[in-house]
Amino acid sequence: MQLTERSRLRVTFKTAGIPSWIAKGISLEGLFGDFLAKTSGTTKGLGAGIVHHAQPDKGILGQSGTIGESYVLGVGVGYSIKYRKTDQVCVVFNGEGATSRELFHGAMNWSGLYDLPVIYVIENNEYAVSTHTSKTHSTKEDGNIADWAEGYGIPNKVIDGNDVLEVYETASKAVERARNGGGPTVIEAKTFRHRGHFIGDPGDYMDQDKLEYYKKEKDPIKNFRKLLLKEKIKTESELEKLEKEIKKEV
């Protein structure tokens, strides 16, 4: 895969999820083509029918087939950006489960040592499949995995992953810092999974009271919708029109 200048803003790796790819311009047709292992997908049928996507011209370099390997790939991209002296930034997304692998620490070490323009986003929803993070991570009482970055001299920030504006503002500062030669950042976005790990997983091992709380009070889409209406940035009719267009496209 060739990383082109068109992918100026940032290049991304993920091990799960697609919102950031959609935001960067990947088409729904391409995504669904990958889900169905069709040649219309971004990987031309090579994605094996799971969440493997890649579109280098949009800065989406795909993901590894093994959880956590994208940390190492991110280091390589960071080296590439620094070697070519571009103002690109690499963003690596993983869940908290992937950080329990030694690959995370290796990536932190090299990124910190060489001030690589890489942002590591930890999407902490507390469960790696069905195992709670308290049983997989040795952390301080606050349970923040981002604290580990301090040992490598890397700035880190723990945020509410359900607060759209906080996520945007934190990411924007990290991108600007990396672009200006400030090196890597670790961002831990705290959230909670809204269902089991996969369709058919009842999720009965999850804290049910906390689950209901997050569904009712912390849904980022519903809360941001309320904010847009409250601040009169959008009207109800405008949002309804947008929602209908999105449903039609899907």
Contact 156, 187 (CB under 8 A): yes
Task: Render each residue's pLDDT in the chain as its tens digit; 250 residues.
Answer: 344 444 444 555 444 457 778 888 888 888 888 888 888 888 888 876 566 788 888 888 877 778 888 999 999 999 999 999 999 999 999 999 999 999 999 999 999 999 999 999 999 999 999 999 999 999 887 789 999 999 999 999 999 999 999 999 999 999 999 999 999 999 999 999 999 998 889 999 999 999 999 999 999 999 999 999 999 999 999 999 999 999 998 8
| Residues labelled as active-site residues | 193, 197, 205
> Could you give the CA distance from residue 169 to residue 175 in angstroms, rounded to a whole number?
10
Residues 174, 179, 185: CA angle, nearest 5 degrees: 30
20 C-beta neighbours (distance < 10 Å), count: 16
pLDDT for res 50? 64
> Could you give the CA distance from residue 32 to residue 47 in angstroms, rounded to a whole number?
11
CA 193 and chain centroid, separation: 14
Those residues whose C-beta lies under 8 Å from the C-beta of residue 130, and which sit 6 or more positions away, are: 196, 197, 201, 205
How far are the Cα atoms of 20, 163, 164, 212, 224 from residue 168, in angstroms, in the given order? 12, 9, 6, 25, 12
pLDDT for res 4? 45
Helix (H, G, I), strand (E, B) or coil at 160: strand
